[in-house]
Amino acid sequence: MPVTEHQVRQALRPVHDPQLHGSIVDLGLVRRIDVGGGGDVDVVVAQIFPESPADELRRQVTEALSGLEGVTEVNVEFVSMTDDEREDLARRLDEERAGAISFVAPGSRTRVLLVASGKGGVGKSSVTVNLAIALAQRGRRVCVIDADVWGFSVPAMLGIDHPPTVLGNRLLLPPRAYGVECASIGFFVREDQPVIWRGPMLHKALEQFLTDFWWGQPDFVVVDLPPGTGDISLSLASFLPRAEAYVVTTPQIAAQRVAQRAGLMFLSSQIDIAVHGVIENMSWFTGDDGTRYELFGHGGGLSLAERLDVPLVGQVPFVPELREGGDAGLPVVVSHPEGEAARAFASIARRVDTELAPTRRDHPGLRVV
């Protein structure tokens, strides 16, 4: 029995556009379906931009239709949207979102991880980037938000040197590297431009930052917070009330004492965000002879975890490749996947993904006003 156009369209519904992460059928990107008498199926799919990735989408369309009974051959053709079509798509998506942050909408399954530290210099951004990639390597869809307004570094660590794509002058599509999408204040501020914003300006900028990007429904949103307990942390806590906080520290007791302030900030009645764990960075250096040298002391991470009554999620060793990868835009979990640090991040990602998943995953929703 020959396949029908309706069957083809239904089979294509699970295929998602790689930039908007929505069904190509529901987004109106399937422009034409022709079913031949011999089982040949020709499909025309619209791409948002001429340079949009096509190979992966072609593979998904072909696999989705090859499994249909009666289909003998699949031919996929791509056409580019016009400016008017892109504007219409952006308008529809904007209306669908209606000014809310998509991943905190009612029923969202997205987990928001706030990566915090009490002080700078403990490797918080390195932890954020490598944890995000390690989660993506587990098959999760992951977005990273670089909310460190004064010390933004995530795009450089990911090797991203181009701004987000603008859809219809309404929506920003975040660039992608190593399976992770990234949004950063750094996309809108020059490297040599100081950011001199007061509290209300920071709050408004972050609100617009969160709502202007098109996020869809990722599995994880990992947020790199600035050090300390200032305005940005307070603002993000109000935007993302169901987030999970992870505190980064080094082993030295002095760093742990400062880091606990960040943890206690989340637990305060003013914010009331659950702290899910502590990550200790620069835990030791392993010499060529296999000896571990605790360059920054011992016990700070465990002491902080006990103080906050949360687990010590993992300890990341001090390795030159971690610093070198951050400078070169090649994170250590990619450049040295079998190395000591990469194994540590893989273990942390596994625990975050499984053991530390909250039991209550329903979000109350948030509408920015």
Residue 89 lies in a domain: no
| pLDDT-derived band at 359, boundaries 50, 70, 90 | low
**Same-domain status, 185 and 111:** yes
Paired sense of beta strands 171-173 and 30-35, if any: unpaired
* pLDDT score at 262: 81
* pLDDT score at 354: 95
Residue 86 lies in a domain: no
Residue 246 lies in a domain: yes
Lowest-pLDDT range of 8-17, 34-43, 234-243: 234-243
pLDDT at 226 over 70: yes
**Same-domain status, 52 and 155:** no
**Same-domain status, 208 and 338:** yes
Boundary (domain end) residue, out of 19, 48, 81: 81
Q: Which residues are CB-contacts of 145 (< 8 A; sequence separation ≥ 6)?
A: 183, 184, 209, 210, 221, 222, 223, 224
**Cβ(166)–Cβ(212) under 8 Å?**
no
**Same-domain status, 43 and 117:** no
**Same-domain status, 48 and 197:** no
Residue 369 lies in a domain: no
Summarised one tens digit per residue, pLDDT across range 277-304 is 999 999 999 998 889 998 888 888 999 9
Is 179 exposed, middle or buried, given 0-12, 13-18 or 19+ CB atoms closer than 10 A? middle
Neighbouring C-alpha atoms within 13 Å toward the C-beta of 109: 7
DSSP secondary structure string for all residues of 125-182 = HHHHHHHHHHHHTTT--EEEEE--SSS--HHHHHT--SPPEEETTTEEE--EETTEEE
Lowest-pLDDT range of 245-249, 267-271, 363-367: 363-367
**Cβ(228)–Cβ(262) under 8 Å?**
yes
pLDDT at 61 over 90: yes
| pLDDT-derived band at 99, boundaries 50, 70, 90 | low
108/283: higher pLDDT: 283
pLDDT at 307 over 60: yes
* pLDDT score at 297: 85
Find the mean pLDDT for residues 86-90.
92
Where are the alpha helices (H) located in the chain, listed in sequence order? Answer: 5-12, 55-66, 83-97, 124-136, 154-158, 199-212, 231-239, 253-267, 300-308, 320-328, 332-335, 340-353
| pLDDT-derived band at 138, boundaries 50, 70, 90 | very high
232/38: higher pLDDT: 38
Lowest-pLDDT range of 28-42, 118-132, 245-259: 245-259
pLDDT at 228 over 80: no
Q: How many structural domains comprise the chain? A: 2
pLDDT at 18 over 80: yes
Residue 169 lies in a domain: yes
Which residue is listed with tokens 């701004």? 163
CA 91 – CA 359 distance, rounded (Å): 36
Length of the chain: 369
Find the mean pLDDT for residues 59-78.
93
Structure tokens given for 127: 């932890």
**Residue numbers of the domain that contains 167:** 102-353
**Same-domain status, 125 and 171:** yes
**Same-domain status, 294 and 327:** yes
* pLDDT score at 364: 37
- Nearest by Cα to 135 from 189, 180, 84, 167: 180
Residue 90 lies in a domain: no
SS3 271: coil
DSSP secondary structure string for all residues of 10-37 = HHHTT-B-TTT-SBTTTTT-EEEEEE-T
pLDDT at 194 over 90: no
Structure tokens given for 64: 């989705």
Residue 358 lies in a domain: no
CA 22 – CA 84 distance, rounded (Å): 20
**Same-domain status, 148 and 46:** no
CATH at 39: 3.30.300.130
**Same-domain status, 108 and 28:** no
CA 222 – CA 140 distance, rounded (Å): 12
**Same-domain status, 118 and 246:** yes
* pLDDT score at 197: 62
How many CB atoms within 10 Å of residue 52? 17
**Cβ(248)–Cβ(223) under 8 Å?**
no
Structure tokens given for 310: 């949360």
**Same-domain status, 192 and 330:** yes
* pLDDT score at 159: 94
Summarised one tens digit per residue, pLDDT across range 164-188 is 989 988 789 999 999 999 998 888 7
CA 271 – CA 76 distance, rounded (Å): 51
Average pLDDT over the chain, rounded to whole?
A: 86
Residue 368 lies in a domain: no
| pLDDT-derived band at 195, boundaries 50, 70, 90 | low
Lowest-pLDDT range of 68-82, 169-183, 256-270, 341-355: 256-270
Boundary (domain end) residue, out of 81, 114, 140: 81
CATH at 136: 3.40.50.300
**Same-domain status, 225 and 346:** yes
| pLDDT-derived band at 367, boundaries 50, 70, 90 | very low
In sequence order, the β-bridge partners of residue 23 are 16
